[in-house]
């Protein structure tokens, strides 16, 4: 029963993570962007200035690369099974992207079924280690293909 409740809470947080739009302007602090999510409160995203309202809570910080939002591997690996998801380096930290990464307009990179491409969206992926199997470019892509194998 306790394990079932824990999985339900993980699923709830995962859904929130995937549905939240990050880097919007904070309503309380106009000059700040909402790039944090509280694992305990499971409320809307908040900015750095609002972070003290979540003192002692498990807080996830989001990072942005171009228009894609990611989260550090160390911060998410206890929530999500990150195996088979491509990792990237943002600010010198291993990071995974949250949402499917749409192709740039005018640059079709659809490569579904080809080696080193995401099984869901076909996005080309980097080869970081021949011994590691990377099948997805984001948490969302893995969830769409393997919904039962995502929670840690």
pLDDT 10s digits, 2-17: 888 888 888 898 999 9
- Angle at the Cα of 20 (from 135 to 37), degrees rounded to 5? 95
Strands 59-65 and 88-90: unpaired
pLDDT at 116: 76
Q: When comparing pLDDT for 13 and 47, which is higher?
A: 47
- Decide if 44 contacts 60 (C-beta within 8 A): no
pLDDT tens per residue across span 111-150: 444 567 888 888 888 766 554 678 899 999 999 888 876 6
Q: Would you call 52 helix, strand, or coil by DSSP? A: helix
pLDDT at 109 over 60: no
What pTM value is reported for the model? 0.84
CA distances 74 to 19, 42, 70, Å, are 21, 19, 12
- Residue 93 has phi, psi (to 5 degrees) of -120, 140
Band of residue 43 on the pLDDT scale cut at 50, 70, 90: very high
- Number of Cβ within 10 Å of residue 96's Cβ equals 23
The pLDDT score that the predictor gives to residue 55 is 93
CA–CA dist 145, 141 (Å, integer): 7
The structural domain count of the chain equals 1
- The domain in which residue 76 lies consists of 2-149
């Amino acid at each position: 029963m306790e394990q079932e409740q824990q999985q339900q809470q993980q699923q709830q947080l995962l859904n929130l993570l995937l549905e939240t739009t990050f880097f919007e302007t904070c309503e309380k602090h106009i000059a700040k962007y909402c790039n944090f999510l509280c694992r305990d409160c499971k409320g809307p995203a908040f900015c750095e200035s609002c972070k003290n309202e979540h003192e002692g809570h498990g807080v996830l910080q989001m990072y942005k690369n171009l228009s894609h939002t990611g989260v550090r591997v160390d911060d998410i690996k206890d929530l999500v099974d990150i195996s088979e998801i491509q990792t990237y380096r943002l600010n010198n930290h291993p990071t995974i992207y949250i949402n499917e990464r749409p192709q740039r307009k005018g640059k079709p990179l659809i490569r579904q079924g080809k080696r080193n491409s995401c099984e869901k969206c076909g996005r080309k992926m980097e080869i970081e280690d021949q011994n590691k199997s990377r099948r997805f470019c984001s948490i969302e892509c893995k969830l769409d293909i393997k919904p039962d194998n995502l929670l840690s």
